Amino acid sequence: MDLKPTAVLVTVDAALLAPAPPEPDTPMLKLIRLERTLGHKVFILTSLPERFRAVLYAWLRRLGLESDGILMRADGEHCPDAQLKTAMAAAVMKRHHVVHAYNDRADSHIAYTRLGLNATRCALPAHSPVQAHAQTES
């Protein structure tokens, strides 16, 4: 019997590329909140480099989205996205029973299903905390 805590994976890559501000509450956000209510840990996976961690945390707080961990690309790392997400998912799977993966990219979706995970292709609200951060610095 698997006594590991349960978890869901949520990728946010494509959601971070669009300039439009997010809706205040979307079905995807409601679904992630429901997963937490059901007792699942929520892990955010992104291809954003580590140097954007504070920006991503601020964006997630603004959306009211709590997570139990954020896995990011190491600064200077350039491996393909699906390879990165496979490694990230495997790291979470060592300590958690992953019950579902929500992702916004076809290659990540395929990678998750190859790991034996139930996966749904969907996206968080389109908004770019990285673009917003860059605009405030200019």
Q: Is residue 50 part of a domain?
A: yes
Q: Is residue 13 part of a domain?
A: yes
Domain that holds residue 70: 6-137
Tell me the whole-structure pTM to 2 decimals. 0.83
Q: Is residue 54 part of a domain?
A: yes
How do residues 41-67 score in pLDDT, each as one tens digit?
999 999 999 999 998 888 888 888 899
Distance CA 95, CA 79 (A): 24
Tokens of 62: 């603004």
Question: Taking residues 69-86, what's their average pLDDT?
Answer: 95
How do residues 105-124 score in pLDDT, each as one tens digit?
888 899 999 999 999 988 66
Q: Is residue 1 part of a domain?
A: no
The number of folded domains in the chain is 1
Distance CA 21, CA 47 (A): 20
Distance CA 117, CA 8 (A): 10
Output the domain CATH number for residue 89: 3.40.50.1000
| Helix, strand or coil, per DSSP, at residue 110 | helix
